[in-house]
Amino acid sequence: MLTKVIEEIKRSNCGTVHMNQSLKKYTTYKVGGLATIVSPYNEKELIRLVNILRKYRVKYKVLGNGSNVIFKDEPYDGILIHLDEFDTFYMEQNRVIVGAGYSLQRLALKVSRLGYSGLEFAAGIPGSIGGSVFMNAGAYNSDMGYIVDSVKVLTPDLKIKRLYNHELDFHYRTSYLKEHPDYICLEATLLLKPGNKEEIMDIIQDRKMRRMASQPLEYPSAGSVFRNPEGNFAGKLIEEVGYKGKKVGGAMVSEKHANFIINTGNATAKDICTLIKEIQVTVKKEKGIELKVEQEIVE
């Protein structure tokens, strides 16, 4: 079935088809099985692609920079849509219009160097614009919800529509798009504020040095594993139940920051998921607190 679908995708010019791709190359955890990945070049190709996938009832998922997902070790039994070609950038004073496939980190540094404030928090987040809007990425008491004016989306009935900030229902690590994954983010319009370039870059540099000292940036990971419970810190709870440095196969709870699970070199997705489950069970048993996973485990 999938072979037939891929042949039709190629015939219909829906973008570049990459077959038998190791998801280790597409995720920051560097784990996962094989997948077929299609990269459309524009909205028309994306619409044609989704139409075909729906016609054959093929499972599909939009993949950003792979910085917040865990794919299983087995092959992905569907099609992954990669919007890396949706990388337009346009700026008019403090208004930024940027494609869903553009790097959030790259954008944060670009606008900060131009003297615009609002994206300092994102200089260390390795996600795409689309993925960052989807999950309302944030740090340092700020997130995308503070700066997104609107997003252009492909709706479930394959229409192009604009959703504005008040419709996007941004909350801690979630949004309308995350609750309605049939919508696909195509482009975001952000509103920033003019600022002092030197001061902005000093903030970014200071935070970078603190991250390097406190986070295991030298290993593959996907950032914070769990959401911070209200009034508490996930890393503190994990450390208190004795899980700092705990290993399952090649996955390990970081000794620098207990809310990071790192790939020490040969971890599998199963290793990571087993460790996540163990932590949840232990923290619930010893602390009575249900830790919620911030990362997405893709079925």
> 23-56 burial, b for 16+ CB within 10 Å, e for fewer?
bbebbbbbbbbbbbbbbbeebebbbbbbebbeee
Four-way CATH pick for 216-298: 3.90.78.10, 3.30.70.260, 3.40.50.10490, 3.20.20.140: 3.90.78.10
Q: What's the pLDDT score for residue 220? A: 97
Q: Which of 56, 41, 54, 55 is nearest to 2 (CA)?
A: 56
Is a pLDDT exceeding 90 seen at residue 25? yes
- The string of pLDDT tens digits covering residues 144-164 is 999 999 999 999 999 999 999
Angle at 26 between CA 20 and CA 27, to 5 degrees: 130
Annotated domain spans of the chain = 2-82, 89-199, 216-298
Is a pLDDT exceeding 90 seen at residue 1? no
Angle at 52 between CA 51 and CA 55, to 5 degrees: 85
Give the phi and the psi of residue 93 in degrees, each rounded to 5. 55, -120
Per-residue pLDDT, averaged over 270-280, amounts to: 98
Is a pLDDT exceeding 80 seen at residue 93? yes
Q: Which residues are catalytic?
A: 173, 224, 294
Confidence of residue 190 (pLDDT cuts 50, 70, 90): very high
Per-residue pLDDT, averaged over 272-296, amounts to: 97
Q: Which of 67, 58, 68 is nearest to 38 (CA)?
A: 58
CA distance 136 to 64: 14
Tell me which architecture the domain covering 2-82 has in CATH.
2-Layer Sandwich (3.30)
Confidence of residue 299 (pLDDT cuts 50, 70, 90): confident
3-class SS string, 15-81: CEEEEEEEHHHCCCCCCCCEEEEEECCCHHHHHHHHHHHHHCCCCEEEECCCCCEEECCCCCCCEEE
CATH topology of domain 89-199: 3.30.465
Please, which residues bridge with residue 257 across strands?
none
Q: DSSP 3-state assignment of 138?
A: strand
Please give the share of the chain, as a percent, with pLDDT higher than 90: 98
CA dihedral 125, 205, 25, 43 (to 10 degrees): 50
Contact between residue 125 and residue 107 where contact means Cβ atoms under 8 Å apart: no
Contact between residue 190 and residue 118 where contact means Cβ atoms under 8 Å apart: yes
